[in-house]
Amino acid sequence: MKTFTALLLLFPAGLLLAQPPQLEKLEKKTILLFTPHPDDDTFCCAGTLALLARHGNNIHIVIYTNDDKGSYDPEMTGERLAAIRKTEEENSCRILGIPKQNIHWLQFHDGMLEYANPLDLVEQVTKIIRTYRPDVVMTIDPGSEYVRWHKTDHRMAANNTIDAIRAAEWHLYFPSQRLHDGLEPWQVPVEAYFYVTQKDANYWVAIDEVLDLKLSAAAAHVSQFEPSIRKYRPDWDPKDLASIKKYLQGRAIKKDGHVVESFRIATQFNQQ
């Protein structure tokens, strides 16, 4: 492995980033976002995604799981919930300007990502990265210095994505992808990690102008809110909708007078 990186281990990671790229100002780039569940992308980043979509970026959403467990409705079955969640995610993305065909489902069961074959999973995501050759990868933060996440889908998605980012760069990882699929290695230039701790955040996108879109996109996940989460109904009572939007708006993060979304941005993969 490269010596430069190895030596840098001894210095604080923060020093590495001279000038973080301005995520929300990108135009006509390829953005590849990996999310554990269909809604983590909305809650973390809907505002940023709406801005990126407006600027003509090509956004692809890769969703690790089918989210087929999160209902208290005793009549719900997993297969039916998976279908509901698929539609809700498509609705949410459409609001943000991301077409349905740009959503890619890896189809693992909710809560079961940790039990997937880890090597196969890295290989699969490496192939996606080499296929789309993204200018930015957005993904759940594995933690800057230690292993985060007790929720297993989050931990596995976070770790797996960075493993794949590293593998994608070197053609000797999964060489069949070059030989049989014609895919060349790809070095991801920028990672924007979401769901960051306060201590790790180093970049904030002001989303005031698209806050309404974010609230609508969040509300598209009807089945995940009261009352639908306890007794499924596919639509909102207008009163409930107004209430939940108000609630969500109240919980939004503010910084310097703006509603923001937080990220940890890195310009190269942390080889630690």
100-159 positions binding a copy of itself, by CB under 8 A: 105, 107, 110-112, 114-115, 117-120, 142-143, 145-152, 154-155, 159
Nearer to a copy of itself by C-beta: 31 or 76? 76
Residue 71: phi, psi to the nearest 5? -145, 140
CB of 43 to a copy of itself, least distance (A): 4
Q: Decide: is 88 part of the binding site for a copy of itself (CB under 8 A).
A: no
Name the residue among 12, 16, 7, 31 with its Cα closest to residue 192: 31
Cα end-to-end distance, the chain, whole Å:
11
The C-alpha angle with vertex 220 and arms to 115 and 227, in degrees rounded to 5, equals: 85
Q: Decide: is 89 part of the binding site for a copy of itself (CB under 8 A).
A: no
Q: Decide: is 10 part of the binding site for a copy of itself (CB under 8 A).
A: yes
CB of 139 to a copy of itself, least distance (A): 12
Q: Decide: is 68 part of the binding site for a copy of itself (CB under 8 A).
A: yes
Asked if residue 227 has a cis previous peptide bond (ω within 30° of 0), the answer is yes
Q: Decide: is 79 part of the binding site for a copy of itself (CB under 8 A).
A: yes
CB of 88 to a copy of itself, least distance (A): 11
Chain centroid to Cα 107, Å, comes to 15
Q: Decide: is 67 part of the binding site for a copy of itself (CB under 8 A).
A: yes
Q: Decide: is 17 part of the binding site for a copy of itself (CB under 8 A).
A: no
Containing H/E element for 182? none
Q: Decide: is 9 part of the binding site for a copy of itself (CB under 8 A).
A: yes
Please, are residues 41 and 61 in contact by the beta-carbon 8 Å criterion? yes
Residues 163-202 touching a copy of itself, rule: CB under 8 A, are 163, 166-167, 170-173, 175-177, 179-180, 185, 195, 197-198
- Sign (positive or negative) of CA dihedral 75, 80, 85, 90: negative
Q: Furthest-apart CA pair in the chain: how many Å?
A: 60
DSSP 235: S
CB of 150 to a copy of itself, least distance (A): 5
Nearer to a copy of itself by C-beta: 130 or 221? 221
How far is Cα 240 from Cα 143, in angstroms, rounded to an integer? Answer: 36
Nearer to a copy of itself by C-beta: 29 or 127? 127
How far is Cα 49 from Cα 29, in angstroms, rounded to an integer? Answer: 12
Which of 17, 20, 21, 80 lies at the binding interface for a copy of itself (CB under 8 A)? 80
- Give the count of residues interacting with a copy of itself (CB under 8 A): 84
**Region near a copy of itself per CB under 8 A, out of 22-30, 130-138, 203-211, 224-232:** 224-232
How far is Cα 270 from Cα 23, in angstroms, rounded to an integer? Answer: 19
Please, are residues 205 and 23 in contact by the beta-carbon 8 Å criterion? yes
Q: Decide: is 77 part of the binding site for a copy of itself (CB under 8 A).
A: yes
